[in-house]
Amino acid sequence: MRLDQFDLALLEAVQQDATISQQDLGARVNLSSAAVNRRLKKMNMHGVIRKTVALVDPAHLGYALTVITEVEVESERLDLLDAMKRSFLACPQVQQCYYVAGACDFVLVMLVRNMEEYTQLTRELFFESNNVKGFKTLVSMSNVKVGTAVPVGSEGH
Amino acid sequence: MRLDQFDLALLEAVQQDATISQQDLGARVNLSSAAVNRRLKKMNMHGVIRKTVALVDPAHLGYALTVITEVEVESERLDLLDAMKRSFLACPQVQQCYYVAGACDFVLVMLVRNMEEYTQLTRELFFESNNVKGFKTLVSMSNVKVGTAVPVGSEGH
DNA sequence: CAATCTGATGCAATTTCATTTCGCTTTCAT
DNA sequence: ATGAAAGCGAAATGAAATTGCATCAGATTG
């Protein structure tokens, strides 16, 4: 799908705040609300906008700790990796999981209430997997930036 | 702010999809649309819901690569750390930045179009900082999970 | 124990917003 | 030129959010 300057401006706006009315969006980018509606609908259908969600403050739900874990696997057999991926996907505390090339194999970003919850999770996710050679835990002292906005400025793809 | 079962159910729902109408939400949790409206407004005001945003697919904007960088700093002087934090915050490609205890000092999750863009960013963010002892780059081969939903089930805080 | 205060509810009226329709303009390839 | 395709704005329609109001349950107090 081809995106013009209007689309990009809309994306930039709704990435910051999806509650702005289409009228206001139109005023901001110089378009009628009908045009805004059509463009947003199209971008939703084409998957440019994956979804629109409420971002909840973890602290208010008791999730005070962000922990980053680097996991090294024993075997790279595909079925074993898939099983691990599935267990990470299924775990609500796992906010993000990347399968990476480099020193380790998986990087996880997790949200936990306290260290006990984390150690409990390591048991479930790592020890019981039988395919984890080792893991390194990094505890976040400060979540400097936790953003969701994809850069939109500069050139198109 | 105290959250009851209704609030939690609402949070769970709007974390998945913030476009559901308040009527439908009400039907789902057994509440009138007015009550849903009031509860959502309250949670917005109290910061339980930080914001509601559209999640954009990076690939559609040409951001094909996710890179994780572990940065080790030279000095932990507060003013120097703050300067670094600010430069990370200001960089749109930096999706997340954590200041961590452990082997390294910062963990960054970045979104870039290609490796060139990344090496360019390392120049701006790391080499020009004069406070980076070294950094390790992990390239994501598979973004297994990139979620935003804070766990809501189980016990309250 | 009764009075009262608080916070939250549902209903219904109102207002705001999203969505569709329609006629018009532009672009581009015939 | 000409017709098809794409996109626009204004206005009509339909849906949703918001608010006023009467009410109710639970806690607090005299």
Q: Render pLDDT for A71-119 as a digit per residue (tens, 0 to 9).
A: 999 999 999 999 999 999 999 999 999 999 888 899 999 999 999 999 9
Q: What is the CATH number of domain B5-45?
A: 1.10.10
Note the pLDDT tens digit of each residue in B85-123.
999 999 999 999 999 988 889 999 999 999 999 999 999
Which CATH code for domain A58-139?
A: 3.30.70.920
pLDDT of residue A102: 80
How many whole angstroms separate alpha carbon A72 and alpha carbon A41? 42
Query: Pairing mode, if any, of strands B49-56 and A49-56?
Result: antiparallel
- Strand-strand pairing, A49-56 and A132-146: unpaired
Cβ neighbours of A19 in B, within 8 Å: 52
pLDDT for the residue B108? 98
| pLDDT tens column, B36-48 | 999 999 999 999 9
Residue bearing the bigger pLDDT, B154 or A72: A72
In angstroms and rounded to an integer, the radius of gyration of the C-alpha atoms of chain B is 20
For nucleic chain D, give residues with Cβ below 7 angstroms from it.
A 6, 26, 30-35, 38-39; B 21-23, 33-34, 37-38, 40-41
Q: What is the pLDDT of residue B123?
A: 97
The pLDDT of B131-144, averaged and rounded, is 97
Q: Which residues have a Cβ under 8 Å from the Cβ of B31 and sit 6 or more positions away?
A: B6, B25, B39
CB pairs under 8 A between A and B: 235
Residue B153 banded pLDDT, cuts 50, 70, 90: confident
pLDDT of residue A38: 98
For residue B155, the model assigns a pLDDT of 54
Give the distance from residue B1's alpha carbon to the nearest chain A alpha carbon, in angstroms: 8
Let me know if A45 is exposed, middle or buried by CB neighbors in 10 A (0-12, 13-18, 19+).
exposed
Task: Among A15, A60, A142, select the one facing B53 at the smallest CB separation.
Answer: A15
Return the pLDDT at B157: 39
What's the confidence (pLDDT) of residue B28? 97
In this complex, do A102 and B139 lie within 8 Å of one another by their Cβ atoms? yes
Chain A environment of B104 (Cβ under 8 Å): 138
**How close A114 gets to chain B, by Cα (Å)?**
11
Torsional sign, CA B136, B142, B144, B150: positive
Most B CBs within 10 A among A37, A42, A43, A53, hence the mutation to make, goes to A53
Residues of B in contact with A57 (CB under 8 A): 47-50, 150
* Partner-chain contact A99 B142, CB within 8 Å: yes
Of A50, A56, A101, the CB nearest to B55: A50
- How many whole angstroms separate alpha carbon B157 and alpha carbon B155? 7
- Is pLDDT of B154 > 70? no
| Alpha carbon B31 to its chain's center | 31
Chain A neighbors of B46, CB-CB under 8 A: 60
Residue B65's pLDDT band (cuts 50, 70, 90): very high
Percent of chain B with pLDDT over 90: 94
pLDDT digits (tens, 9 = 90+) for A5-19: 999 999 999 999 999
Domain residue limits, chain B: 5-45, 58-139
pLDDT of residue A103: 83
Distance of CA A29 to the CA centre of its chain: 28
